Amino acid sequence: MASHKELAKQVVDKIGGAQNVDQAWHCVTRLRFNLNDKDKVEIEDIKKLNGVMGAQFSGDQFQVIIGNQVSDVFAEVEPLVGGSGSSEGKNSGEKQGVLSLVMDFISGIFTPILPALAGAGLLKGFNALFLTVGWLTEESPTYMVLNAIGDSVFYFLPFFLAVSTARKMRTNEYLALIVAGTLMYPTFAEALAGEQTSIDFLGWGFINIPLIDYNTSVIPIILSVILLKYVYDLVKKVIPSAIQLMFAPMITFLIVLPLSLWLIGPLGTTIGNFVSDIFNWLFDFSGLFAGLLLAGLMPLIIMTGMHYAFAPIAITSIAALGYDNMVMPMMFISNAAQAGAALGVAVVTRNAQMKQLGLSSGISAAIGITEPAMYGVNMKLKKPFVLAMISAGLIGAFAGWYGLKAYTMSGIVGVFALPVFADPTGESASFLVATILFILAIVLPFILVLIFRFKDVEDDTIHAKEETTKPETKQAEVGKETMVQSPLKGHIVPLSEVSDPTFAQEIMGKGIAIEPEENRVVAPVTGSIMVFPDSQHAIGIKGDNGEEILIHIGIDTVSLKGEHFNGLINEGDRVEVGQTLVEFDRDAIRAKDIPTVTMILVTNTADYLDVLPMNNSGEIFEGEHLLTLVK
């Protein structure tokens, strides 16, 4: 199998290169891309790559199914594409459909917080299980501590969603946290506890802000951060740059936060409760039919990536009702059925590789990661996939009729998610039923596969795939990538927008520019100072990996002849990454009508295949990954 680095390079090449990537992230098993031109994707070649289980478009989002190693592969993909493109991508000139936009948006928000949801949800489930079996009581200090840990991510969910939504919208995360903090502010909660229902903002009598408990809420914070992004961008266009730092956030807060408390938050709460009520009504009205459809069709939903759209529904349901009787139970049963079918294949097949894959992927599916079993075994053989869906539908129908409930969330829905079905009140029936149904969901498709069999795979099918990918793997071998950190805190500016044509046309090399928000520059790499003129406005560094970095503070700052600059290094000095190089007074420089935008250039760009900025816009902090140099 190709190394993670080789596979990452192959995938990026076959999706049209880094310049074709608008955004990239991953979930539990898939690489996910927003692309500027989907026609450049060589999808059939990607499917043949050794280490890839499948590839598909879900709306305008391109997904590459990797399996359990996805985080390792993404770690190699990120330096190649991270920040390439921008949110302005046009997707082949085609307008994205509303459904595609919504699915992509929801996926981008909830995928990053899955580890927090998974860890806290599982701990919360185990705590309820310990209460059920009598190992703990609600009054015990151990229960209270574990409950606080498990409950934290759900109670303070608006903070987590504020960060992930801000990243998806490419706006300031810390401003988004202020929005979440305001919605969750204790004074409002205390007023609500005192049976006060609203407060009169400004005393005008018509801006009555409803007092709502926003803990565990989903839609209010998402809508509020969307509003924040557009208001903040508009305010920054109006406010002069010299006073942007202070006044742009303040004015944004004065617009966004009252509107969020008065209109956006209540509207989001109403929408969330309405959607949750519809699905819960469906299960109450005909749980048997709803369970049959949802559990049976869950693999198809997972294939399209639409299962992330159910996350806000499940969370809202748990917040409003104390349980989820739709998403978690049906996914739990569906995943177990895929595991049972794959294990059945492992017993029946005479193909040594398929037998090993069936066993390993079956165990993985039982844990809750189903793509290896779905794509690598069941779908490839077709009949096991159908038998798994039929089994899941039948057992899901019973679960819907019975009213099986999950009392918290779990990021990975498998055998280790069983504790989330433990009733927090200590009642044991829910946990026992969930355990029995999980076992049945594995056993039924396992038996059906043994009875109905399938057309087996010849050994040379797998060998042929390995052989076809070997030459490509060798051909894709590349040298190392070098990371350049940000030498200062500020706002990213593409070189093309810099007023000096020498920099804008990349005559001195590729790179990025930053409008500074602090008065110092630090070393972006470890190496030696090669250039440091008396004017102290520019620093040339030769890095240990051969990279030649020029940091040019401001435009025409050489005319200052060192005034407002304080150099802390000399030519020939050895410097470590993060070491302070120069201090400067940006306000004094701006007062002389001299731009302070700072260019970070790779002057030996010709030595590299490409110089890739991690982002072309937004805020960046000192020491953050700024550029990737690809050999």
Q: What letter represents residue 135's amino acid?
A: W
Q: What letter represents residue 239's amino acid?
A: I
CB-facing half-sphere around the CA of 509: CA atoms within 13 A:
27
- Name the active-site residue from 27, 307, 491, 537: 27
Answer positive or negative: Cα dihedral of 313, 316, 318, 323. negative
Residue among 438, 450, 439 at smallest CA distance from 387: 450
Say how many C-beta atoms besides its own lie within 10 A of residue 312's C-beta: 22
- Dihedrals φ, ψ of 538, to 5°? -140, 145
CA torsion angle 333 335 340 344 (round to 10): 150
d(CA 578, CA 488): 9
Residue among 379, 378, 380 at smallest CA distance from 362: 378
491 is catalytic: no
d(CA 614, CA 322): 41
Residue among 412, 364, 467 at smallest CA distance from 117: 412
Residues making up the chain, counted from first to last: 631
End-to-end CA distance of the chain: 23
Q: Label residue 195 left, alpha or beta by phi (over 0 means left) and psi (-120 to 50 means alpha).
A: left
CB-facing half-sphere around the CA of 273: CA atoms within 13 A:
10
DSSP 174-236: HHHHHHHHHHT-HHHHHHHHTT--EEEGGGSSS-EEE----TT--HHHHHHHHHHHHHHHHHH
Q: What letter represents residue 90's amino acid?
A: K
d(CA 20, CA 81): 9
- Name the active-site residue from 26, 307, 491, 552: 552
27 is catalytic: yes
**Mind telling me the catalytic residues?**
27, 552
